[in-house]
Amino acid sequence: MTSTQEIKVPDIGDFESVDVIEVLVKPGDHISAEDPLITLESDKATMDVPSPKSGVVKEVMISIGDKVAEGSVVAVLNPDSSSDTVPEESGVTLADTENASESKTKPSEVEPPSESLPTPAEKSPPATQKESFVKPVKASVPETPTDTRQSSFPLPHASPAVRRFARELGVDLSQIKGSGPRERILKDDVQNFVKHAISNNAGSQTNLPKPPDIDFAKWGGIDLQPLSRIKKIAGKHLHRAWSSIPHVTHHDETDITDLEAFRKTLKIENEGSGIRITLLAFIIKAIVNALKAFPSFNASLSTNGENLILKNYFNIGVAVDTDGGLVVPVIKEVDQKGVLEIAQLLGDVSERARFGKLKPDELQGGCFSISSLGGIGGMSFTPIVNMPEVAILGLTKARTKPVWNGTEFSPRLMLPLDLSYDHRVIDGAEAARFTAHLVQVLEDPRRLLL
């Protein structure tokens, strides 16, 4: 004997109604006992409504965006004849909705067992049925990704918290194989899936729509100026870096009043040497000190996204503005050089970069980069991490500001610092500690001797 049964919303506590944010089944799906049917979301949490029995979904009574309460009918089920009912303490109630006459159905008309269910192609509802099943999401309901699962695949087994985490990342749980008991999908499984996807797509083009081809000449005169070779090469590299790396930028500032006074003293002492002693030479030396204290910044992420490659050498790249665009020559083995030698090398590579005379090896092997706009201006910006590095420091113009010294305000020369980093490798606390360490070194250059 086969009878259809209604599956109702269980006790949901003090809430009079809650939102339906996911509908996990459709008519024709075969489900097992305890498989989730829908996901509800209140102001405090999410919860799944499970099926108390195995069987075939005959009809779904609610859609995404609906509000339901305890006792609302979720779906109508044709239960398997041998399925066991979930214990009553689960809170899900069943109501027999068939007339007694259906119990007299002929044996040949009895619904076949689960192994004789229609094929996936037969179970899939027509397009018009799907459109009537999923209603537009109401304004008060968070947008959820489209459920692309087909009825031929088993429903993913995951907790409401994991489902919500996956929705926030836009991840389809049907694409993930769980590592928990009975292949239950865990939060780590979702995170590993995202990391793997990012790693595989690191060098590929994004799926952004192609921009329209616009005839700008119809509104007035135009001139066509080809991009320089450097900008073409740099543009592809920057686009790949911005698309592949989850960027975060940490902003801070440091008091360089004493450092600037010391720099001017050295400049006077070395006037006849031909060395141009800039603030950047001190910053490069200070960065090496910070990289030694925080090795994860002197690293690269492996191509499979599973390992961090820590480097035992310290090569610093410095962005140089040229007529053709930005180039980033690399000063090697900075940890083995003093400030005067760094200043000399910095002047040399900057000059040759502007005339296009850098060797290929001088543009490779960087561990960390600096992009300085100090000679131009600005208060802050977001530099793009120079892959395969994991961080870059941006510098803008230093300004004199009134700073409270404990008893009064005094004029101090303050330098803005903008640290962009790869959030897959570095978290916010590490970035703050790295910048705080750099601030200490720049405010008291004697720390470079430690």
Q: Is the distance from CB of 48 to CB of 57 less than 8 angstroms?
A: no
DSSP readout, 213-239? ---GGGGS-----PPPHHHHHHHHHHH
Q: Are 395 and 416 in contact (CB under 8 A)?
A: yes
CA–CA distance, 77 with 7 (Å, rounded to integer): 7
Q: What is the mean pLDDT of each run of 10 residues along the chain (450 residues)?
A: 79 74 87 84 68 88 86 87 50 38 39 41 41 39 39 59 80 84 83 78 59 90 89 87 93 96 93 91 96 97 91 96 89 95 94 88 94 90 96 96 94 97 96 97 84
Lookup: tokens for 289: 């000190």
In the prediction, which pLDDT does 52 show?
86
Q: At what angle do helices 257-269 and 428-443 cross, to 10 degrees?
A: 50
Gap between the Cα atoms of 344 and 341, Å rounded: 5
- C-alpha span between 41 and 146 (Å, rounded): 17
| Contacts for 260 with CB less than 8 Å, ≥ 6 apart | 279, 398, 413
Asked about 196 being catalytic, the answer comes back as no
CA gap 244, 237 in Å, rounded = 11
> What is the spatial distance between Cα 424 and Cα 11, in angstroms, rounded to a whole number?
41
Residue 105 tokens, joined: 């159905």
Q: How far is 274 from 266, CA to CA, in rounded Å?
A: 12
CA distance 326 to 238: 11
Q: Are 224 and 410 in contact (CB under 8 A)?
A: no
Integer CA distances (angstroms), 258 to 174, 264, 413, 440, in order? 60, 10, 9, 12
Q: What DSSP designation does 16 have?
A: S
pTM, entire model: 0.56
Q: In Å, how far from its chain's centre is CA 422? A: 10
Would you state the structure tokens that stand for residue 332, as one six-digit string? 């090697």
> Where, residue-wise, is CATH 4.10.320.10 in the chain?
156-201
Cα-Cα-Cα-Cα torsion 58, 63, 68, 72, nearest 10 degrees, comes to -10
Q: Hey, which residues does 321 pair with through a beta bridge? A: 326
**pLDDT at residue 315 in the model:** 97
Residue pair 153/123 in contact (Cβ under 8 Å)? The answer is: no
Helix (H, G, I), strand (E, B) or coil at 421: strand
Query: Could you give the 3-state DSSP secondary structure of residue 403?
Result: strand
For residue 281, the model assigns a pLDDT of 95
Q: What is the pLDDT of residue 42?
A: 64
Region 229-449: CATH code: 3.30.559.10
pLDDT, residue 150, reads 38
First to last CA, the chain: 85
Q: How far apart are CA 18 and CA 370, in angstroms?
A: 51
Q: Which of 237, 247, 251, 423 is catalytic?
A: 423
**CB environment 432-447: b (16+ within 10 A), e (fewer):** eebbebbbebbbebee
pLDDT of residue 319: 94
**What is the Cα–Cα distance from 301 to 311, expressed in whole angstroms?**
11
Strand partners, 413: 400
Does 5-148 carry CATH code 3.20.20.70? no
Which amino acid, one-letter code, is at 385? Answer: V
* Position 33, amino acid: A
List where CATH 3.30.559.10 sits in the chain: 229-449
- C-alpha 399/C-alpha 445 separation (Å) is 19
Quick one: pLDDT at residue 91? 39
Q: How big is the chain by its Cα radius of gyration, in Å?
A: 32
Q: Could you tell me the fold of the domain covering 156-201?
A: Dihydrolipoamide Transferase (4.10.320)
- The boundaries of every CATH 2.40.50.100 domain in the chain are 5-148
Are the C-beta atoms of 281 and 346 separated by less than 8 Å?
yes
**Given the structure tokens 């009043």, which residue do they identify?**
257
Distance from CA of residue 188 to its chain's centroid?
A: 15
